[in-house]
Amino acid sequence: DKKFTFPPLNPETITPDEIRQRVAEAGIVGQGGAAFPTYVKLSPPKDKIIDVVILNGCECEPYLTRDYRFMLERPDELISGLKLIMKALGVKRGIIGIEDNKPEAIKILSHKVEYEDGIEVISLKTKYPQGAEKMLIKAVTGKEVPPGKLPMDVGAVIQNIGTAIAIHDAVVKGEPLTIAALTVSGLGIRNPKNLYVPVGTPIQNVIDYCGDVTEDSVKIIVGGPMMGVAQYDLHAPVMKATSGILVLTEKEVSENVETPCLRCGQCVDACPLNLMPTKLARYTQLKRYEDADGIGIAVCMECGTCAFTCPANIPLVQWIRLGKQKVLQMKKERAAK
């Protein structure tokens, strides 16, 4: 529990290299859930020309309101963090993309950036999965990231709202990332809250702090309901990118019986990346990992839209996730030979 801080740095005089070094030393990772090292995102290859930084203020998963509270309560630190990201990348244009179901956040931040050169707030249509990097880039800039490519291939870098604030805190306050901001919600928790929680805190402690679960609670998920992971051991710790702890009741969880695929194509229509989820899942079941790789299993972002729309209740995301792991393992074994 010892508190450690770095010497604060002046955001006006700090150099791009100093920003990257501080971000690395502070252990900052992406707050959107993937926990990708932020230092790496701020260090693109020399041949990649970045022309825009986009802050993801969509928070499109149900229940989660952590980023929304950040936008309402810490707008100045948010903009400071965005400027530091832009400075580290040598970029003159910054965009904060916010879904239109958060009008108060749009209003506050639009007012704050009114006199900021090169920074704007864009209101986006509320839809899932708007917050996914490739979806957000298309909505904000009109550019499409090719399959298998990264946002930097179209000149964009995406950062989460919480990541920008963590960068501000690391540079201006000298605070390393040792605390996770998260939403505790769901009908199964007695006192829903948005909290700052020290990394490493057992999930059970957080639930106890919020008044414990109700008698009809049946499932606990870390993350959002679409992309989160169900928990069976509440001694598991809160991690840096833990965005939420959801306690769901029987009303919120549908445990429908899985039936054979209907070949209806609803999952194909729903996939935001134009993949064939049913085929990817089937190839995984048949252990045909080469074929799964050939039709783009590695491209899947595991948003859960396919499983949500499937009338046969097939756990498509779980199969695809397993297939991705097997494909990665297969490629590593080949590279080692």
Q: What is the CATH number of domain 16-173?
A: 3.40.50.11540
CATH 3.40.50.11540 in the chain is located at 16-173
Give the chain's residues under pLDDT 50.
none
Look up residue 215 and give its DSSP letter.
Answer: T
Count how many residues are written for the chain.
337
What residue spans in the chain does CATH classification 3.10.20.600 cover?
179-249
pLDDT number for residue 31: 85
pLDDT value, residue 3: 85
What Rg do the C-alpha atoms of the chain give, in angstroms? 21
Judging by beta carbons within 10 Å of its beta carbon (0-12, 13-18, 19+), is residue 221 exposed, middle or buried? Answer: buried
Q: Which amino acid is at 17?
A: D
pTM above 0.85, yes or no: yes
**Which residue blocks in the chain are alpha helix, DSSP H?**
16-25, 38-41, 66-73, 75-89, 103-112, 133-141, 161-168, 203-209, 266-270, 277-285, 289-294, 305-309, 316-336
CATH (residue range 179-249): 3.10.20.600
Q: Check residue 1 and give its pLDDT.
A: 72
pLDDT of residue 337: 81
pLDDT of 32 reads 76
Alpha carbon of residue 43 to chain centroid: 20
